[in-house]
Amino acid sequence: MWSPSPFITEETRQNVCNMAVQLAKSVGYYNAGTVECLVDKHQNYYFLEMNTRLQVEHPITEEVTQTDLVKAQILVAQGEELPWKQEELKQTGHAFECRVYAEDPFHNFRPAPGPVVEQQYPHGPGIRLDNGIFKGYNIPLEYDPILSKLVVWGKDRSEALTRLKRALSEYRVSGPKTNLYFHLKAIEQKAFIEGKYDTHFIDQYLEEILKIPEEGKSKALMIAALTRYLLDEKKQGLSSSTSDQKESSAWLRAGRLRQLGN
């Protein structure tokens, strides 16, 4: 998700916002809500649905408007007034959000439950991570496989996109399969960079997005082997409290990686 849209005009944006307010007033709705629309190539917009709550994409709105929508929602629920007026809200910069899922893009994005072995978070200017997992957490099969929301802000679309690419390249989750690689390659597509895409983007570019360079395959195999070893070690309940055991584990890891390298 991203905000603001690189396609719709300011006039279209204002028309959609006015329609959303009229809709809420017509049904007597008072509190946080999300109105969704589809826009065609001629800037015609069509009402899709209204959700009577904040949605998972709300952080990008918070980033470009410098507001706390969750706090505002709670205040209104308590009978208090909103802390701002509509005319006081101004958009500044550009924000992207990637939903990081425990899923396998190479197998039709099917869920990939299991334990989180290790993870490395991205940091730096404009980076926000709404995280919901930790080392040792077991991702269940019964619920939505979302792990976190990676949100970036920049003074313009180009800066935000550069920060997003860096953040995705630094983000690591070992154990379950994730869609981090999919996100990283999707934002590298020329159509995405130029903002020239529509709802058919994934269908059009999925094959190109999931194409792994030859030099990256051996690295992926090495990472997979090490992850598998760590999982096996955990299942067998091996202790690493002594230096001998630590040294043995290190040699085992090195031996498996050398085998793959050959």
> pLDDT, tens digit, for every residue of 173-204?
999 999 999 999 999 999 999 999 999 999 99
Looking at residue 143, its pLDDT comes to: 87
Q: Give the pLDDT band of residue 74 (cuts 50, 70, 90).
A: very high
Measure the CA–CA gap between 218 and 196, rounded to whole angstroms.
34
Task: Exactly one of 53, 110, 172, 258 is catalytic; name it.
Answer: 53
Read out DSSP for 131-153?
E---TT-EE-SSS--EEEEEEEE
Measure the CA–CA gap between 87 and 243, rounded to whole angstroms.
64
Specify the range with the lowest mean pLDDT, choosing from 20-34, 72-86, 189-203, 244-258: 244-258
pLDDT, averaged across the chain: 86
Q: What is the CA radius of gyration of the chain?
A: 22
Between these two residues, 96 and 245, which has the higher pLDDT value?
96
Between these two residues, 160 and 52, which has the higher pLDDT value?
160
Q: Give the pLDDT band of residue 234 (cuts 50, 70, 90).
A: low
For the segment 63-80, the average pLDDT, to the nearest whole number, is: 93
Asked if 3 and 69 count as a contact pair (C-beta separation under 8 A), the reply is no
111: left (phi over 0), alpha (psi -120 to 50) or beta: beta
Question: Active site includes 253?
Answer: no
Q: Give the pLDDT band of residue 214 (cuts 50, 70, 90).
A: low
Portions of the chain given CATH number 3.30.470.20: 1-90, 93-211
Looking at residue 250, its pLDDT comes to: 45
Measure the CA–CA gap between 57 and 197, rounded to whole angstroms.
19
pLDDT tens by residue, 7-42? 999 999 999 999 999 999 999 998 888 999 999 999
Looking at residue 1, its pLDDT comes to: 83
> Counting runs of H as helices and runs of E as strands, what totals does the chain give?
9, 12
Domain 93-211 top-level CATH class: alpha beta
pLDDT tens by residue, 101-115? 999 999 999 999 999
Looking at residue 144, its pLDDT comes to: 87
Q: Which residues contact 253 (CB under 8 A, 6 or more apart)?
A: 226, 229
Residue 218 has pLDDT above 60, yes or no: no
Q: Give the pLDDT band of residue 259 (cuts 50, 70, 90).
A: very low
pLDDT tens by residue, 126-178? 999 999 899 999 999 888 899 999 999 999 999 999 999 999 999 999 999 99
Q: Domain 1-90 classified CATH 3.40.50.300? A: no
Instruction: Please state, for a pLDDT cut of 90, what percent of the chain lies above it.
Output: 68
Measure the CA–CA gap between 75 and 21, rounded to whole angstroms.
19
CA 78 to chain centre: 31
Looking at residue 212, its pLDDT comes to: 77
Q: Where does 40-145 show beta strands of DSSP type E? A: 45-51, 94-101, 103-104, 110-111, 114-115, 118-120, 127-131, 138-139
Between these two residues, 250 and 10, which has the higher pLDDT value?
10
Residue 185: CB atoms within 10 A of its CB come to 19
Q: Which residues contact 15 (CB under 8 A, 6 or more apart)?
A: 45
